[in-house]
Amino acid sequence: MHATHHGSRWASLWALTWPQILMLLVQFGIGLTDVWAAGRLGPDVQASIGLIAQCHMVLMTIGIATGNGAVAAVSQSIGAGRQRRARRFTGLVLITGTAAGICLACFGSPFRLEVLRLMQTPQHLMESADTFLRIYLWTLPGQYLLAVTTAVLRAVRSVRLPLLVTLATGFLNIWGDLAFGLGWWGFPRCGAAGLAWATFVSVTLGACLLFFELFSFGLLRRDSFPPLRWIRCGGRYLLRVGLPALGTSFLWQTGFVLVLVITMTLPQNSINALAGLTAGMRIEALIFLPAVACQMAVAVLVGQSLGSGDRKEAQQSAYDMLGLAVIGMTLLTGCLWFVREELAALMTNDPAVRAEAVRYLVFNFLSAPLMVANLVLIGVFIGAGATQYSMWSYLISVWGVRLPLSWWLGHVVTASSSGVYWAMVVSQLVQLGMLLRVLFRTDWKRFALMSPDKRA
């Protein structure tokens, strides 16, 4: 019986993980094409797209937090057999996420130049950076809707439909990059604006398609938009999960933007370092694909296990996914290590930028097991609704360790990007130590939506 149950858990992990790996692979292809096309438009455009992509992720923090809340609340409700509660949480997160995206787009657009100056954007990057930021801001409503609908479908273990939608809209985005960004096949060459508008169209279309599919899954009905009395109760749990998740996303994304600023202001070779870091991050996404997919899968399994009151199953799912992810990613990065220079050459023709990208990949590949373990553990705590632990780990590891150490090592000790990358490795080690202590030494399962009779 135990072997059968263990095999069922592995089957569930795999069934949830492989479609998301493919979906993230398509998203990686989109990002790769963006950076590759930007590189063909010039080093300034390539540096700008990396800078604004990180700024865009900061603006996505509310959407990511709402999606995390959706995974915890909906998966636990499904695990408990509470279908109406799952529908009500679905309606609540859709309203919250979409409204937040619209508000950010409307209020952020007039202050674009102030944001770019705050990020200490060099003057020669301002024009292309403003183009990307202006269009990406109006992509936010669709991006927020897409994040929430994908999270809800994932929480009910529907991962193949989002995969199909991502495939269709992803190829549309890549085609738009080549046609309107670079002017292939006789289309007008719009440059940076063409790349940004291709993202806008594909994201908005994908969000609309998945939104209407929620009706066919029974997740959107008349009772999906709950009364005010229920919102006060359900909203309290979403806030309990979502606010720390928002803090986590904000701390991570703003921290990484500051890492870009530290890199951009290095005393030597700063522009090449920034362009190399941008290219290296796109290659790094290859490692993130299965890691993030594992994070998403374990969040759903832990949430549904805790919703049904099976605390032991939730704990074992965490252990199994942690072991699988660390071993798998170590093997993957071991293989990629031998082709790191070839990978960097795919991203840029500039020898100096290519050398910087290779330098980044050396540090990144060596620290891959730490990164993967951190992502899986954060997924465990998302599924349990214990997002406060993730927030504290980012606060201490990124803001307490990575940023001051990046500046000191990069600007004072090494006067190069190597100091920044060493700080990234050290901060990941600190974060892993904190999260493992939580996993083994605290009752992180108490944050789940369980009935009193299921807490034993």
Euclidean distance between CA atoms 249 and 394, whole angstroms: 9
Nearest to 286 by CA among 223, 252, 336: 336
| 386 contacts 447 by C-beta, under 8 angstroms | yes
Euclidean distance between CA atoms 324 and 455, whole angstroms: 28
pLDDT at 374: 94
For residue range 402-422, list pLDDT tens digits in order: 899 988 988 888 777 788 889
95-99, 121-125, 298-302, 318-322: least confidently modelled range: 121-125
| Domain spans of the chain, in order of start | 15-454
| 340 contacts 358 by C-beta, under 8 angstroms | yes
Provide the angle, in degrees to the nearest 10, between the axes of the packed helices 2-41 and 43-59. Answer: 140
For residue range 162-219, list pLDDT tens digits in order: 888 888 988 899 999 899 888 888 888 888 888 889 989 999 999 999 898 888 777 7
Instruction: For residue 267, give both structure tokens.
Output: 């005393």
pLDDT at 455: 41
Is the pLDDT reported for residue 2 higher than 50? Answer: no
Give me the half-sphere count of Cα atoms (radius 13 Å) on the Cβ side of residue 166. Answer: 22
For residue range 256-269, list pLDDT tens digits in order: 778 878 887 777 77
Euclidean distance between CA atoms 322 and 362, whole angstroms: 23
Alpha helices in 42-125 (DSSP H): 43-59, 61-79, 83-108, 112-118
Euclidean distance between CA atoms 171 and 23, whole angstroms: 12
Q: Is the pTM of this model over 0.75?
A: yes
Is residue 6 very low, low, confident or very high in pLDDT (cuts 50, 70, 90)?
A: low
Q: What is the mean pLDDT of the chain?
A: 82
Provide the angle, in degrees to the nearest 10, between the axes of the packed helices 340-347 and 2-41. Answer: 50
Euclidean distance between CA atoms 376 and 281, whole angstroms: 20
Cα 116 to the chain's mean position, in Å? Answer: 22
Is residue 454 very low, low, confident or very high in pLDDT (cuts 50, 70, 90)?
A: very low
Number of helical (H) and strand (E) elements in the chain, helices listed first = 17, 0
Cα 295 to the chain's mean position, in Å? Answer: 10
Residues 85-92, mean pLDDT to the nearest whole number: 85
The helix (run of H) or strand (run of E) holding residue 270 is helix 270-307
For residue range 350-386, list pLDDT tens digits in order: 787 888 888 888 888 888 889 999 999 999 998 888 8
Residue position matching structure tokens 């858990």: 9
